[in-house]
Every structure is written in C-alpha cells, then in structure tokens.
Chain A
Amino acid sequence: MKARVFITLKPGVLDPQGKAIHHALEGLGFGGVNDVRAGKLIELDLADGTSDGDIEEMCRKLLANTVIENFRIERLQDA
C-alpha cells in the first residue's frame, strides 16, 4: 500500500524559496504568475492495514513541523 504526504507551509508563513522560484520564473519571461509556494512530497510504501491514524501520527511526530507546516495525506490505490 502506498501513500503520499504533501507538506506545505501554512498560509502567511514567509517562503523565501517560493519567492526565489517566482522571481526565476519571471526572469524566464513567464508572466501571470501571482505567487509560488514550495513544499515537499513524501511517498510512503506501507504495510497493508496501516491506518489513516498511523500515517497522521507519522506526520505529526516527524514528517511535518506543525508549527509552520500543514500536511495532507493521499492514499494511492494499489496498481
């Protein structure tokens, strides 16, 4: 069983990396980009039967720093 965890900075938290990417896009001539926020994607390969609660605990205890980050869990259907 696989799951993906998307980690994003909370709204309002300054994202210097996103800002730099934004500037670089503008430098390449891409107009119309209003904002860029950078985050992380973590893919987990999990034992069958791992519960949503287990994954959430992984996020709270390590994968995300909930002071500054939000996380979203997406379970993938077995291919």
Chain B
Amino acid sequence: MQFLFSTAITVASGRARAWIRKLQVQARRPWDFLFRGLTYLLVLVVLCTVVGIAWVMLSNSLPTIQTFGWSFLTNEAFDPVHNTFGVRPALFGTLETALFALIVALPLGVGTAIFLVDFCPRALRAPLGFIVDLLAAIPSIVLGLWGAVVMVPWLQNTGQPWLQKYLGFLPFFQGEIHGYSILAGGLLLIVMILPILTAISREVMLVVPKAQREGLLALGATRWEVIRYAVLPFARAGIAGGAILALGRALGETIAVTLVIGNQAASPSLHLFDTGYTLSSVIANQFGEATPGLFQSAVLEAGLILLIITLIVNIFARLLISRLGRERVGGLVV
C-alpha cells in the first residue's frame, strides 16, 4: 500500500511539473495562464472526487472485506447484534427486482416506442412523446409515496390475492401475502424505467432513414413487416444499450423501493410476494445505527458492491450506445 502510494505521488508530481511547463507555453498572457490554471484545477477537483468516491468506498470497507472475504456475499444475515454481516438477501433483492422490472418494461417500452414512431396519429405524436419524456424526471419519492400509500394496500387486498387465486400454480405467486413485497418493489421500478426505455427506443427508431422504410414498402410489405425488417434491426443496438442503462437505474434506486419492499429478509426464493430488501435499502436503513467498526464497514461494503455492479452495467451500456454517438434524450440529458 505504502509503495503504491509513493509511486503515485512521484508520478503525479512529475506530471504536474510537465503540465505547468505546458501551461506556460500555451498561455502566454497572464490572464490566460490563470484561466487555464483555474480550469485545470477545477477539473482536477472533479477527477479527484470521482476517484475519491471509489477510494473511500474501498478503504472504508476493508474491515469487513478482511473479516468476511467472499462470504460477505453469501451470508444470509445482516446482523449487527452478533457481528456477522452478509448481503446475500440484499444482493438477491436488488437483482430480482431490477430484472423483473426490466423484463416487463422492455416489451412495454419498445411497444410504446413503436406506437409513437409508426402508428400514432401525427397530431398526437409530439404531445405524447413529450409526456413520456417528462415522466422520466419524476422524483422517486413521489412514486414511493404513491406506492406505499396506495399500491401496497391494493396489492394486499386485491392484487396479490387475485394473482394467487388464478396464477398460484406458478412459484412466483405463492407464499404469504403482505402487500409489502418484492413484487411491489419491482412494480415501482417498472414505472421508473419505462420512460427511459421508451424515450431511448424512440430516438433510435426515428433515426432510421425513410429510404429504408420506402424500399420495403415498395416490395409490398405490411406496416409491421417494414418495422420488423427495416426499423428494428437498425435500432437493435440502441435499444439494447437503453435497456442496460435502464437496468442500471433500477439497480440503484433506493427510496421508492425501500418504502414498499418490506425491508425484512426472507430467504431468497422465487416468491415475489415475500418481503425483502435491496443493497440500497440496506444502506438507507442501517446507516443510522451503524457503529464504527465492523457495522459501518458492512454498510460501506454494501455500497461498494452496489457501486461496482452499477459501474459495470453502465460502462457496458455506454459502450453499446456509443456506437450511435452520445444520446440526448428529448432535452433531458441522460
């Protein structure tokens, strides 16, 4: 650790010296020098912040990393009382809710986008598209409020019993009914990521050149055949990128989910009616009690894991999307 640190400092100071020389050459007037210097300084602050976040997460998780190692990921209990910590249910909850939301929202979103681009009456196109874009910006607390006060009781009294009665043969809909559940979390996430998915899908479909559509129309294709053979293949990469971005968003969502998911671990299973918790809800619920030492470190390690997961997902998504240039989604920079 020490060695790495001193090497880093040597390299950094060498670089800094080279930079200052470069500055002096590039900016001949004193104001320019100052301006450039200020700009570089502030950018450096931003860079340090980004790196600092990762660094802080990592270094503050070391106690639990050293104590539990990989078993942190597999331990079932997040138990401050007995000083054993594990995030297996949280990990499971995070992944289960996000994947559930993505699986349902993807066809909904792409279908909505297809409608908006191809089948929607011209006059409605702009206003409806606008509404969808706006909805991407709704604060999650608003959704959380509605979810906790309206959706959860409804699920408990109407929705879940109905599901259990008619579709109870599926493992998803078995188990005790509380209202607060992984299902509730997943449903809220669907609402959260649907606008992003629709907006991105729409953007990439609009880019398809008219000539492609006309070419197939001239061969006698139906409107659906034009979409299927000319539009969707073009848009595939963009839609995939958008889906993964949406996944990243779903994985990190805290407030809305924590209000409806129950925050009590059941052992991981396919039962969507079980309560559960996610990595982010663990952090939100436990930080207040977290005493320095193993407890705090555990909370931070949960954050570290969440950070790593979302980073991987986001980098992957951006690689996919970057094939089409940077995305500007309906005025709201994504």
- Is chain B found bound to chain A in the same assembly? no
Question: Could you tell me which B residues sit within 8 Å of A by CB distance?
Answer: none
Task: State the A residues within 8 Å of B (CB).
Answer: none
